[in-house]
Structure 1
C-alpha cells in the first residue's frame, strides 16, 4: 500500500500527530475509517473513527463521517491528538541499545520479551521497559514503537521519541523504504535462494494462525542461503512487506518451516546419526530460530541513511555452531 505522504516538518512535541496523504485508487468503495486504517496500520480503526467524528480528519479540506465511502484520490489531512501510554507502569528492564539520539532509539530485542502488553502479559513488556528508560515516551502511542517483533523473535527495532519522528518512520514503513533483514534456521536443505510472493491472511479455520490464502494481503519475502547443514539451512530473508508472521508463514509454505516454530513448524528434523548433544539442542530449542539482524532507514529528522546490524543471540548462534560442527563431522 503506497499512499503519497507529505509530513509536517513542524509537528509539535505535545503528542499531536500530523499526517497527509492521497488515498490510493485501490481503496475505492471502502468506508473512510476502513480505508484510513488500511493506510495507517499503526492506528486502530476505532481510534481513526474517533478522529473523524472529532473533525480531526479532513477529506479534501472538509470534515467527513466514518461511514462515508471513498473514491480514491482524495487528499487526507489528519491533525489529531495521540493517545498517551500513561496507563502503563515504567519498569527498570535493561535494554540493549544499539543507537540513541533525540529522535529515535534502536534496540536489539532479546527473545522472550513481549512487545505490547496484552492478555496474560500486563507487565514486563518492551513498552514498560521503554517507559522506564524514557518517561517522555508516554506521550506517544505504544511508547513510540512503530514496528513489531513476535515475543520469541529477537533483533533490531526502531523506536520513535517524538511525534515528528513517529510520523516520518510510519511513512517510511508504509513506503517500504525501511530495510529489514532476518536470519532464520529452517528445516530441510534449500538448494538455492529465491522469492516468495504469496498473499497472507487469517487462517480460515484456525484463527490464531496466519496462512497463505487467496484474497490475503500482498506479501513478498526474498531469501538467500547463508549456510547449509545436513538437515537444516541458515537463510537471510529480506522483507518487501510486513505481514503478521510473514517469514514464518512463507517458509512453512515452502515446506521449510523455521526450526522451533511452535505454531507453523512440524517436529524438528534431526540429522541421521547426530550426536546426543545436537539432538538435545534441536529438541530443546523451544522458540522460532528467527532474528532481525539488519535494519536500514533514513533518519526521520536529518534524512541521513542509517544502517544497523545485530549478531544472532547466544542460543541461536550455539544452535548454528552445533549444526555446522555436525555437518563437518559427517562431511
Structure 2
C-alpha cells in the first residue's frame, strides 16, 4: 500500500501516530472522523460496549421521547440524536410487541375520511380531513418538543395495519415543515415503494422482504433518499433475507444512493462497536473500504459533523489491509473492528 491513505481509503482517512507524551507513545495507524451507528435502540441496550468498540455517536430510532431525551443529555459518549416515538397506524407495528418500551409508540388515525358524495359532502370531507390531521401534527410536534432530530414511521404490512398514502403524506409534510427528515421502517410487499412515493428521506433498513426493481431503486437514489444498512441482523437470522437486503443495497449503491452504517443495536445479540459482520456485508454489497468509512462517518441526521465531534477522533491502529485485500470483506471488517476513540489532539499527522 502506498503512503497516500486517501488513495484507497478516501479523503476522510489520514495516516497518524500517537503523541509521544500519552499512552502507547508513537503507535501508528489511520485516523478517521468520529464514527456513527445510525440505527440503535438505547432503551433496549446500553451503549457502553459500542463506545469501547469505536462508536462515538448514535441515532436512536424508537424510544419513549422523554426517556431518550434524558439519555441524550447524559455527559460523555456516545453523542445521541433521536427520533422519539414510533408513529404508526392504529393497531400497527410495533404497538403489540412485548419488547417496545412503554411510551414509545404513537398510533395515529387516517386523515382520509369519507363523507359521501357531492359538493356538500366534499366540503364536509375537507373539514373532516383538517380535523383528523390534528393528531398527525400533534404527534410530530410532540417529538420535536422533546428534541427529536427526525421523525420515525412504521410501515410494516407483515405485522399489522399501515398508514394510507394521504396520512403518510401528511406526516411527511408536517415533519418537513419543521425541518425534520422522516425515516421509515418499510417491511412487506410494496412498503418501500409507499415510502419512496411519499418522499420519505431515509429507510431505516435496506429493504429485505422483497427484491425491488431497478427503476424504483434508481428513483430512490435520484431523489436523494438514504438507506441505513442493518445487514448483520439478517446475516444472523436468515441467509435468504440477508441476500435480498444485500442485493437491494448493492444496486442502490451502484445507482449513487447514500448508504448509512447502522446495526439496529438493541435488536437481539449483536457485537457492539464497529460490527465486523455489518462491515463485511457492506463490502459484499459492493462498497469499497472508502465507501464503508463514509457510511460510518456520515453526520446524518444533522447536516454537519459537529454533533459527533467534541474533540475526539477514531484511530484504527496498525496498517490497513494491502491493496489486494481491500476487496476482501473479512479483511476490511477485521481491520475496522479494531477502531477506538481518542482525543483528537493525541494524534499527529505523519
Structure 2 length-normalised TM: 0.23
Q: Could you say which structure has the higher helix fraction? A: 2
Q: Could you say which structure has the higher strand fraction? A: 1
Structure 1 length-normalised TM: 0.24
